[in-house]
Amino acid sequence: MIRLLDGLHLGRPQVICAGLVGSDALALVDCGPETCFTQLVAEIRRRGLRPESVTHVLVTHIHLDHSGGAWRWAREFGAMVCVHPRGAAHLADPGKLVASATQIFGADMARLWGGVQEIPSAQIRIVHDGEEVRAGGAVLRAVETPGHAPHHQAWWLADERTLFAGDVCGVSIAGGPVLPPCPPPDINVELWQASLEKIRALDPQRLVLAHFGAVDDPRPRLDELERRLTDWAGWMAEQIRAGRTEEQIVPLFEQRVAGELRAAGVDAAGLAAYEQADPAAMSVAGLARYWRKHHPGELG
Instruction: Evaluate the omega torsion of the peptide bond into residue 184 and state whether it is cis, within 30 degrees of 0.
Output: no
Mean residue pLDDT across the chain = 97
Confidence of residue 300 (pLDDT cuts 50, 70, 90): confident
Q: What percent of the chain has pLDDT over 70?
A: 100
Q: How far is the C-alpha of 253 from the C-alpha of 249, rounded, in Å?
A: 6
Element (H, E) at 191: helix 189-202
Residue 254 to residue 252: CA distance in whole angstroms: 6
Q: Tell me: the pLDDT tens digits for 191-242?
A: 999 999 999 999 999 999 999 999 999 999 999 999 999 999 999 999 999 9
Q: What is the pLDDT of residue 1?
A: 87
Q: What is the pLDDT of residues 257-295, one digit of tens each?
A: 999 999 999 999 999 999 999 999 999 999 999 999 999
- Which pLDDT belongs to residue 177? 98
Alpha helices in 70-179 (DSSP H): 70-77, 88-92, 95-105, 109-113
Calculate mean pLDDT across residues 174-191.
Answer: 97
Work out the average pLDDT over 248-265: 98
3-state DSSP call for residue 124?
strand
pLDDT of residue 233: 98
- pLDDT at residue 225, rounded to an integer: 98
Q: Between the CA of residue 61 and those of 88, 204, 258, 298, what are the distances in Å?
A: 10, 20, 27, 30
- Element at 241 (helix H, strand E): helix 218-241
Domains and CATH numbers, the chain: 2-225 (3.60.15.10)
How do beta strands 162-166 and 132-135 pair? unpaired
Residue among 21, 3, 45 at smallest CA distance from 137 = 21
Backbone angles phi, psi at 4, to 5 degrees: -110, 130
Collect all residues with Cβ–Cβ distance below 8 Å to 170 and sequence separation of at least 6: 178, 179, 180, 181, 209, 221, 225, 228
pLDDT of 77: 98
Longest dimension (CA), the chain: 59
